[in-house]
Structures are given as structure tokens and as C-alpha cells.
Structure 1
Amino acid sequence: MQPKKNIAGIITWLAAIVTGVIVIVFPLGYFFVSYQYMAASIETEAEINADIISQIIGVNTEYWEFEQDRLAEQLARRPGKGYAETRRIVNTKNEIIAENADKLKPPVIMRSSYL
């Protein structure tokens, strides 16, 4: 009878390991893939907006910091997804020049791009 008890114990442990893998690894894998997609999407959007803002700054390099309305108008343009976002333009002194902000719920993913 000893070999049958060993086989039953081994099968029980294997079933527990397989169940643990299914319960933990698959949701964790889904989370990481989703997070990477979302982070890449936000980073791409930040780079595109930085390029557009850089063009505005390039037209008037001396006084671009005083064009808050024009810069804020550009920050208000968003894709049709409707997600809550905060967009800011800061100068080299880390002062906010223009901002378009929604109330964000944690956790928050942040990406930035240089102008």
C-alpha cells in the first residue's frame, strides 16, 4: 500500500503547484503586459505633445514662457479616450508655465519628455 500513498501525495502536490501557477502567474502576466502597453502609450503621447510644444517654443524662443494661454490650449487637446490626465509644461527652474489637469486617482503612471 505504500506506493499508492506516495503516488497520491505526488499527484496532490503537482495539482497544488499547477493550481498555484494558474492562479498567480496568469493574472500577474496579464498585469505586466497591460502595464507595459499603457506605459508605452503614455510615453508616445508625451513625446508627440512635446514635439508639438517644441514647435511653438521654436517660433518664439525668447518669450515662449509668456504664452500661457496658447500653450494651455495645446495641452487641452487630447485623444478621444477620455482618460483623466494631467499635462504640464515646466521651465528649467521647474516652474509650471502651463497646465491642464484632471483629478487623478492613484495609482498614477507618469511619463515626461524634454522640450
Structure 2
Amino acid sequence: EQIRKVNFLLHEDTVIFNDNGDPLGSYDIIAWDWSGPKWNFRVIGSATWPPVQLDINKTKIRWHGKDNQVPESVCSSDCLEGHQRVIVGFYHCCFECVPCEAGTFLNKS
């Protein structure tokens, strides 16, 4: 109950809470970037509510792959024809594509 009554100033912004105890206001979206011997923190966007709005500047995100490309999730691409998903590990979304056994077929019905 008491958190609903709290408000304070943080970096020139007032922090307040609604009737559910949820904070209202705006927040910076931070990217943690490991660059050598230390972490760098960069603001890549902001979130505000109410109303809910999320803005992320995708050009400020540094991906650590080839040519700064967004990594592709294994779960987002299908297996090639003649292959099937085999779950690897604990999570059902982690799989490898392996060739189907000879004499089997894909049932698309």
C-alpha cells in the first residue's frame, strides 16, 4: 500500500507509482556492449507509459556477428525438405535439422 504514496526525483524525472504499485513514467532502453576490457552501456531507445510506447533505434544496436547482422534464431527457420527437427537440450525450440530416414515421407494433411 505504501508504495502507491511514494514519489521521488531521479535524473530530473519524477518517479511515481499507480494503484497497482507499477511505476509510471519513462525509461531508457540500454544495450550492454562488451568492448574489450569493460562493458559499455548505450541508450538505444525509450519506453513510456501511459500510454504504452516503445521506441528502439535498431541502428544503435551492435550485433557481434558478421557485418553487424542480426543473428538468426534457429527456431525461426524451417528445416529443408527431406529433413526433420530433432530437439537438442531442454528447450523445445532448440533443434537440429537431420535427414529423414529412407522410405519415410512428410505428411502435410
Structure number with larger C-alpha Rg? 1
Smaller-chain TM-score range? under 0.3
* TM-score for the superposition, normalised by structure 1: 0.20
Q: Going by fraction, where is strand more abundant, 1 or 2?
A: 2
